[in-house]
Structure formats: structure tokens, C-alpha cells
A and B are shown apart, each in its own frame.
Chain A
Amino acid sequence: MGGFKESLAAAVRQMAFRTSLDSLKKKGVQQVSVLGIDRIVALVEAAVHRSLRSHLVGIEREAVADATKEEFLRLLRSNEDLQRQKSEIERLKERAEEEIDGLRRELATRHQELQLRLEQGAQAVADRYEGENAAIAQRVGEVLRSLAGAGAPTVADAEARVVELVLDVVSGERRSAEEARAALRDREVENLQRRIRKLNDALGQTEQRLQEVAAMKSVDDGISSIYREVQGLRPGEVQAQKKKELMAEIFKANLELQRKLEG
């Protein structure tokens, strides 16, 4: 009986909701009536017993009371299980939400990094072009200064130096472009090789399947000849000599045909 009272008290506590005095005041509540849990439990128990007494008698009443208590405890346990499941689901939900938040944060970070990289790349290209432009300008300046320092240069000298400079710059660019093209080609070759490998694998698998199917099919071993060795004309054969001559003639004609084929 003691266990029942404790369970009933726990159930009342669980079903009650907590609130603060401030929040009650905010709702305009000035005074509250307090009813202890022990008192509530005693009232519930008394109500149950009175109801049973008015409808049942003796042993029957006791049995119904026990069964009711048992059912109440079962429902209570079931309610506790549901509560536990609910808490677990809520916990999983919270964890999933945390993970989503984490992923969103990571995505944002990656976006930022990408943007930074793109900007850095664009800046690097701009810097490289600027550097190249400056280098070209410097070299042109050097050429012109050296020409000026050498007195009055002829047009041919100037042309030769300028052409030399331009070719030097252009050949550098050509090298870079060629390397880029080679890298692209290498990638294409690598892709093609990968596809060939895949096709080879697929072919191998198909061939294996084919062999399996062929092995499954009943193989015709053929029918044995009645002869175990080469026969030839039997001794005592009718017209044996004539047949021998005819065989020789047929052979001769076929040998001639074979020689013509090989020749």
C-alpha cells in the first residue's frame, strides 16, 4: 500500500506544472490555497474506497481495489516509458539541429574561404600581370637606354634589339601556354585511360559471365566414329587395283590443287 501512495504522489507531482510567484502576480493572483500532496493522495484513495464500498462488498471489493491499483501502476509505468521516449526523441532532435547548425556554419566558412581564394586568385593574376608588365616595361626601358647610350643607333640595331626582346617575352609565354596545354592533354589522356580501364573491367566481367553461361550449357561431345584408325582399301576389295589407281588419281589432282593454292 505504501508503494501505491508513493506512486500516486509521484504521478500528481509529474502532472502538476510549476510556476513562480512573480508570474502568478503578473496574472493578478494575490492569494493561493495550498494543498499538500499527502492530502491529495489521501483524498484520492478515500474517494476510491468510498466508491467501491457503495457498489461492492467484502472480498470482491478488495479484489477490485487491488486490480485497480495494479492497473493504475501499469498506466503510470507506461506513461513513464512514453515520457522517456519523448525525452529521447527530443534529445535526438536537439542533436540533429545542432548538427545542422554546425553544417550551416561550416558551409558558410567554406563559402567565405572560396570567396577569399577567388579574390586572392584574381589578385594574384592581377599582380602577376602587373609584375610582368613592369618587367617588360623595365626591359624595354633598358633596351632603349642602352641604345641611347651607344650613340646614334641605326634602325637595324634598334629593330634587332626590339625583336630580340619581343621574342624573349613571347617565347616565355609560349612555354607557359605549351605547359598548360600539355597538362590539359595529360588530364584528357588520364581520363581516357580511366575509361579504358573501366571498359576493360566491364569486358572482363562480361567474358567471365559468358564463360559461366557457356559452362552451364550442355556441351555436345560429338559422336564417335566407328573407326579408330585410318582405313584405306581392304584387302580383297572388289576391283581393288582399279580403286587404288582411282584413289591415286584423285589424290594427284588434289595435290596439284594444293600446290596451286600455295604457289
Chain B
Amino acid sequence: MTESKQKDHGVLYIGMDLGTSRTSISASNGVRETIFSVVGYPKDVVSQKLLKKDVLYGKEAIDKRLSLKVYKPLEKGVLKYTGDAAMDGEAKANLKAAQDLIGEAIRHARPRKDELVYCVIGAPAEASVKNRAAIVEAARAHVDSVMLCSEPFSVAYGLDWLEDVLVIDIGAGTTDLCRMHGTMPEETDQVMYDVAGDAVDAELARLVAESCPGAQFTVQMIKEIKERYGFVGDSAERAVVELPVAGKPTTFDLTQQIGKACSILIDPILKGITKLVATFDPEFQQKLKNRVLLAGGGSMVKGLDSAVEKAMRERLGGGKVVRIEEPIYGGANGALKIAHDMPADYWEQLK
């Protein structure tokens, strides 16, 4: 690639956070978008004619879900795809949905046709090789070159916190903890728990069903309530919501249930912190405890940083937790920064 040709084309960098619940992108043309990681295909010819589309994504897919076969291609932070030869039709459909989702996320970045597009995707730390390969294959169809990196790493890199930092990425499917010590994190630097946003939703649904007899709701409604009112510790406002009871909108105060459901996040986080701190170089343990970074959609639960700090004081004798400013875009911003800093010849070699 000559210098002049590069200048003719322009270079668009895209950072992507491929999440169980949401997929976010940040691009070097200023575009920042988030879509729900949901893909829907019309159930039959009738619905296809009605919807006038072959594939629907995100909120549109959720809104039209009754006419669609809906896929959430990621589960517990990884693709519902093993790469096994005996993979059934459903797994293949999920793989296609994941590929379509990645394509749609890249289209959201609105790349110009005459620009080179280089993309870094924050992949789940636990993703298998075949899983990662599927992500790369899906992205390659839309970009000139693509790289994967660990999600927690991209969050820390985006904030220039490269040494002695512990990143807690609370997603929908998993809560990932990763300690950074100036090098790429290894397997021993990472722990993962499947107590995350979806688990909070399930717990809240259980508590609402128990305490609000007759109340009708869906997982989506519960998720929206949590995202609006989610908190741990002391609540700043009452969570008064309307749920239908036998078709009639009825008011319920769910403050207590929401607080209780969200608090299930604290215990696994503390377990993870304890494990990663306890196995770290003793000279740097204190520094690590004081540089805990809370990221991901789950970090938007009000009071979570204070609650984790409080628990650290009780169990580890202290610590300092910082919530990143943009939990939804933290991973994508970090991936974008990695894409920017990556030398040209690395991109060329991966084309």
C-alpha cells in the first residue's frame, strides 16, 4: 500500500464490543452506536412480505418478535457455536445470526466505500479458538482487516491503565475479572462468573412473581425495570412501576426486590477480586486493590462501586473502585484505541 493510495482512501478504525445483550461500536468517524444483540428472521413468507426485510436487528427485532424467529447468538459471553462437526441446525442458525449481527454493527459505523476499514473486536475472554475464528470470519466479509482482543484488556487500554489494575466487566451473560500487569493477561489473570445481568433479571423476575401475585411480565419488561431503577445499598428513589394484573395496569413498589436482585452481583465480584489479589505479587497487592475498574452494562447499577468498596473493606481490608465514565462504550472505545495504535504492517499482514 503506497502512501499516496492510503491518503486517497482514508482509514476508518472501528472498535467493537460484542456482548451478550448489546453490541457497541466506536469509530474514527465519530460514530458511536449500540444495538441489542438480537437478530430476527421472518417466520414465513407472509411475515417477510409484511416486514419487507429478510433480517431485523436489535430493538426492531425485539418489537417485531412475534413475526420472527429470534436469535440471541451470544450466551454467557460466547457465541452459541462450538465448531463441532455434529453441530445441529440451531447452532448453525446462531452462527449465521452472529455473523449477520457483526455485519450490521459494522454497517452502523457507516464506513465509506472508498476507505480502508480496520476493526478490533473485544472478544469474550473465554471464547474458544473456533468461536474466535467464527467472529473473525464474520467480520472479514465487511472489513479490510480485523483483530480480536480480550474485552477487559480493551477497557483498561482505553483508559491507559495498563499496570496493576483489576478490571471488572459486568456483562449480561458473564462477569469477567482480569488483572493487568503491563503484559497481555494470561489465563491465570482472568476469572469469569456467570452471575451477571441476565442472572439479576432472573432473580428479579422470581422475586416479583413471589411478591406481586397476578402481576404479568416478560423478561424484557424486567430488564427495562432493572436498567431504569437498578441499585444496591441505599436507594435514591422508589421504584414504582406499573405491571398488568388480569389486563389492568397495577402499580407496584419494587424497590426492595430490585435492590435484593442486584445485590447478587457483589458476592461473585468479591470472590474474583479476592482470588486475583491473593495470587498477585504481594508487593503489588495493595496497588491492585486500589485500582479496581468497574465496566460493562452491569456497572450502571447505582451504588455498585460503593457496595464493592464496602465489601472489600470488610474482606480485604480496603480498596478503591472506579466506575468508568461510559460503561456501554468502554470496551468499544478501548478497542478503537487499540486499532488506532496498531502499526500499519500488522494490519497489512492480517489482510
Residues on A facing B (Cβ under 8 Å) = 220-233, 237-239, 242-243, 245-251, 253-255, 257-258, 260-261
Contact = CB atoms under 8 A, between A and B. Distances in A.
B250 to A, nearest CB: 45
B12 interface: yes
A232 B147 contact: no
B347 A230 contact: yes
Given A230-B11, A230-B344, A258 B350 contact: yes
Nearest to B339: A231
A251 B3 CA distance: 22
A226 B342 CA distance: 16
Given A223-B31, A242-B182, A243-B162, A231 B112 contact: no
24 contacts: A221-B113, A222-B29, A222-B112, A224-B115, A225-B112, A226-B29, A227-B28, A228-B10, A229-B6, A229-B7, A229-B11, A230-B343, A231-B13, A232-B342, A237-B341, A238-B160, A242-B162, A242-B163, A246-B183, A250-B338, A251-B346, A251-B349, A254-B147, A255-B349
B133 interface: yes
Given A231-B340, A232-B340, A257-B132, 5 more contacts: A225-B12, A226-B29, A229-B11, A231-B13, A257-B133
B27 interface: yes
B228 interface: no
Interface string B135-158: 011000000000111000000010
B11 A228 contact: yes
Interface of B: 3, 6-7, 10-13, 27-31, 110-113, 115-116, 118, 129, 132-133, 136-137, 147-149, 157, 160, 162-163, 182-184, 338, 340-344, 346-347, 349-350
A251 B350 CA distance: 9
Contacts of A243: 157, 162, 341
B109 to A, nearest CB: 8
Given A221-B112, A227-B13, A242-B182, A247 B343 contact: yes
B29 A225 contact: yes
A147 B11 CA distance: 99
B7 A225 contact: no
Q: Which 4 A-B pairs have the closest CB atoms?
A: A222-B112, A230-B344, A225-B12, A223-B29
